[in-house]
Amino acid sequence: MANLIFIIYQVVVVLTIIHVVMDNRQPAKTMAWALVIYFVPIIGIVAYLFFGINTRKERYVSRRSMNMLTRRSMLQFAEQPPLMLPDEHESLIHLFARQSSAPPFDGNAVSLMASGYEFFPSLLSDIASAKSHIHIDVYIFEEDPLGRLISDALIARAKEGVEVRIIYDDVGCWSVRNRFFEQMREAGIEVEPFMPVRFPKFTNKANYRNHRKLFVIDGCIGYIGGMNIALRYVKSSKQAEGCWRDTMARIQGRGVYSLQQAFLIDWYFVDRTLLSDHKYYPLPTLTSHLSPLTSYLSPLTSTNVLLQTITSGPNSNLPEIMQGYVNIILAARRYIYIETPYFLPNSAVLFALKTAASAGVDVRLIVPLRSDARITQWASRSYLREIAEAGVSIFFYKAGFLHSKLLVADDSICTCGSANVDFRSFENNFEANTFFYSSALTQQMRDLFLADLQQSVPLESLPRYLRPSFGTRLLESITRLMSPLL
């Protein structure tokens, strides 16, 4: 009997590996799944059923069609005078415009925020001044003191007749009680989870998550970056001795249209309601929503900023945000500064970084010294040593957990958003980044990076990372094999 069960199991393993191979995905991911399925009995097959089966092409065709329809609705209200595009980035701007139907928008005021002490008071101030609608699209909306404070503020605006809509990721909010969201619904707020993970359809949804962080107030103010709604951004957490360090951008001007459009596409996906009224794309007014509180807390403000917001996900034909990263890295001539909490680069990004460093470009990368994901941290170390050997300068942020996702290059272009430098963000998650073509704003983001650098230690000062023991290297190599799956 035992022999029969063993034979049946081996047949299932072979058939599962054949299914992986026939999916024609990237060879690295194919090999990773094949190894997990073969060498991790039963658990490997279960993991593949839950997280590995590629159903995204079939499941998102209708969503992609709605994506294009909503973009056409936006463009009806997004008229602007002819733009003067910077010569050095014109090809990237046209790439995004053609491939992602993401038009550039000029004349924006952008404020950078590097902590929860800046972002959350500014957000609460803007919520209090909202007159038409508030749209929030986040991965995590915690039920903690900060989450309840923002929830109370949203409930107060809803009772005054302001339309309030919230999208939260179901997996990201697994630890949050349903009652927390029900209280907001009972107050008139429309709250929807993104792709709820429930049996028996668990395997269709667990792998593709909405990781975006978007906030839109009256269609005039928008926020984009890496912060969720959680107390860890203003209070020390278990993962770090200090608060989480993250970056958000507050945008005023026509550039908010693209944040609004991204939210409304997601809203149609979760609610099946198409919102295309003109009030969601009002004429830009840079003065009516300027808050004294925001101005005081955010001295890093630039005006007349040209920008593009790019969304990517498993419904995309190509990984647009990753393309932007590779384009910027290979085009850089003087420097490239990057912050990311998780560094598991695919072959394209890895090759671009090594190529730039080998060509003499000053490439610097900051990652957290202490991570909230141990396996991911182990898997990333061999990548870090590999790019260090090519000339990339590696630093570990020690003043808390670094959750910031930004890239700065040559004092002319920068980006921040929700995308990490890893396989999951570039291939599986729904992400959003804004690319800024502004010398003034880029220098301000560069200064944020350099300030973080002062709170970091170089790889050379950490012998256990630079020259690990044999056992540690073996563990790192094994976890690196799984990096396409993390």
Helix ranges (H only) for 23-115 are 27-39, 43-47, 56-59, 61-77, 90-100
Distances (CA, A) of 94 to 35, 209, 302, 331, 426: 40, 28, 23, 15, 20
- The active-site residue, picked from 205, 289, 354, 405, is 405
State how far the Cα of 227 lies from the Cα of 30, in Å rounded to an integer. 32
Burial class of residue 458 in the structure, from the number of CB atoms within 10 Å of its CB (0-12 exposed, 13-18 middle, 19+ buried): middle
Instruction: Please state, in angstroms and rounded to a whole number, the distance separating the CA atoms of residues 319 and 235.
Output: 34
| Three-state DSSP state, 199 | coil
Catalytic option among 29, 89, 133, 213: 213
Which of the following is catalytic: 205, 289, 354, 403? Answer: 403
Strand, coil or helix: what is 421? strand
164's enclosing H/E stretch is: strand 163-169
Known catalytic membership, residue 405: yes
Tokens 């690319």 -> residue:
435
410 assigned to active site: yes
Q: Which residues pair with 191 in a beta bridge?
A: 166
135 is catalytic: no
- Catalytic pick from 169, 170, 266, 410? 410
CB 164 within 8 A of CB 190: yes
Catalytic residue among 211, 266, 422, 452: 211
Hey, what are 459's tokens? 């790889």
The catalytically annotated residue of 106, 218, 422, 452 is: 218
Query: 327-363 burial by CB neighbour count: b if 16+ within 10 A, else e?
Result: bbbbbbeebbbbbbbbbbbbebbbebbbebbeeebeb
What residues are labeled active site?
211, 213, 218, 403, 405, 410
